[in-house]
Amino acid sequence: MVVTRKRKYDNPRLTMNKEPIIFTNKIRILGVEIDAALTFKGHIDNLYNGSKTSVGVGAAWTEWQDGTEIKNKKVRLAPYCTVYQAELAALRDAVTYLTKRRRNAAVLSDSRSSLDAIAGGRSLDPQVAEIRQNLEECHENGIKIELFWVKAHVGTTGNEMADALAGEAVRETGTRIGYVAYPLSYLRRLTRLKTLDTWNERYVGGETASVTKMFFKDANAAYKQIKTRRFAPDMAQILTGHGAFGHYLHRLKLKTSPACDCDDRTDQTVVHLLVDCANFGRARCDLELETGMRVSRDGLSDMLLEHRSQLEKFCDKIVRYVTHKNSTRDNAGVAGQWAPTHL
């Protein structure tokens, strides 16, 4: 498996004793299965015994007496439901069943988060509220139903059986979906996607943010970058074009001339500083050698995505230089005031 930050790459050809080494799409480290995208999805799917798939989510409970299973039930949930909801659905259905039977029982579950939510009394989840209501009703009627946590996947017969039944509930497509409530995480995701779509329409169709569009072709690309790691203030000046640059300061009437000190006929813009300014020729050459990419207006977005740290160092040099140059008394604004050292 190849782990790289590059979007485009070729798998290297490796051999051992003249025999080719076959690449795999996943590895296991300290018992955790990691895929090529550096996620734990496969490990989590195995952990829950297939109770959550793209088809749906399954839950189940099984009743035992004197070491013998006497009843079980499977519950199928909508595909957007979470495993947490599935665990609660199994508990809710089991407690409801016991409440109607009006008998004492011990309920075992391997979902500590579900049990903590029920015991805490602060959860607003409707399933938790229903479970607590049934337990209170049983307590008032002298029925003793106790909830216990058991460790998962250690061979507890009833627990393993319930996990297997939950997997069957998902695979049985003919089973009626018994729970369809949207989880908050799903609603947040829908809201975020809708917000991103609206933002992207305004961003792509707008006439402003020309500098930012060199680095981010659309709002989705910007969101992914910011979500991974926020940008430092100096880098934000480069990305927006709002900083200690001659062209920007001149537009705000804080500098008498927009020209760059490398060429009095060229405005000191972000594009000029990054791509053409002679003051940073050596640093630009070093960046190109280090990344294997040419510093150009059209290539800035790819360089930011694939070599963010190196590009940020280059931009930091530019910002520190122009901040110093454009904050001296000789370059003061037309009103005779000092130009700001930090914007």
Q: Give pLDDT, residue 338.
A: 41
Q: Give pLDDT, residue 103.
A: 81
Boundary residue ending a domain (182, 214, 248): 182
Does 285 map to a domain?
yes
Q: Are residues 35 and 119 in the same domain?
A: no
Q: Are residues 257 and 310 in the same domain?
A: yes
Q: pLDDT digit of tens for each residue in the chain (343 aa)?
A: 677 767 666 777 778 887 887 777 777 666 566 777 666 554 443 333 335 666 678 899 999 988 888 999 988 888 888 889 999 999 999 999 999 988 889 999 999 999 999 998 788 899 999 999 999 999 999 999 999 998 887 888 888 888 888 888 888 767 678 888 888 888 998 999 999 999 999 998 988 889 999 999 999 888 888 888 889 999 999 999 999 999 999 999 999 999 999 998 999 999 999 999 999 999 999 999 999 999 999 999 999 999 999 999 999 999 999 999 988 544 544 443 444 444 3
Q: Give pLDDT, residue 178.
A: 80
Q: Are residues 41 and 82 in the same domain?
A: no
Does 134 map to a domain?
yes
Q: Give pLDDT, residue 317.
A: 95
Does 196 map to a domain?
no
Residue 149: both structure tokens together: 């946590």
Q: Are residues 61 and 42 in the same domain?
A: no
CATH number at residue 109: 3.30.420.10
Q: Are residues 32 and 65 in the same domain?
A: no
* The total number of structural domains that make up the chain: 3
Q: Where are the alpha helices (DSSP H) in the chain?
A: 41-47, 83-101, 112-120, 126-140, 157-171, 184-205, 210-215, 219-228, 233-240, 246-251, 270-271, 281-291, 300-306, 308-325
Question: CB count, 10 Å around CB of 236?
Answer: 15
Q: Are residues 87 and 32 in the same domain?
A: no
Task: List beta partners, residue 28.
Answer: 33
Residue 308 one-letter amino acid: R
Boundary residue ending a domain (182, 212, 238): 182
Q: Are residues 272 and 298 in the same domain?
A: yes
Q: Are residues 40 and 96 in the same domain?
A: no
Give, in order, the Cα–Cα distances in Å from 191 to each of 82, 184, 194, 215, 223: 17, 10, 5, 25, 14
Q: Give pLDDT, residue 43.
A: 43
Q: Give pLDDT, residue 32.
A: 60
Does 214 map to a domain?
no
Q: Are residues 61 and 171 in the same domain?
A: yes
Q: Are residues 116 and 137 in the same domain?
A: yes
**Whole-angstrom Cα distance, residue 158 to residue 139?**
25
Task: List beta partners, residue 69.
Answer: 64
Does 159 map to a domain?
yes
Boundary residue ending a domain (159, 182, 205): 182
Does 94 map to a domain?
yes
Q: Are residues 44 and 65 in the same domain?
A: no
Does 263 map to a domain?
yes
Does 3 map to a domain?
no
Q: Give pLDDT, residue 159.
A: 85
Range of the domain at 40: 21-49
Question: CB count, 10 Å around CB of 9?
Answer: 10
Q: Give pLDDT, residue 16.
A: 83
Q: Are residues 163 and 120 in the same domain?
A: yes
Contact call for residues 149 and 58 (beta carbons, < 8 A):
no
Q: Give pLDDT, residue 54.
A: 64
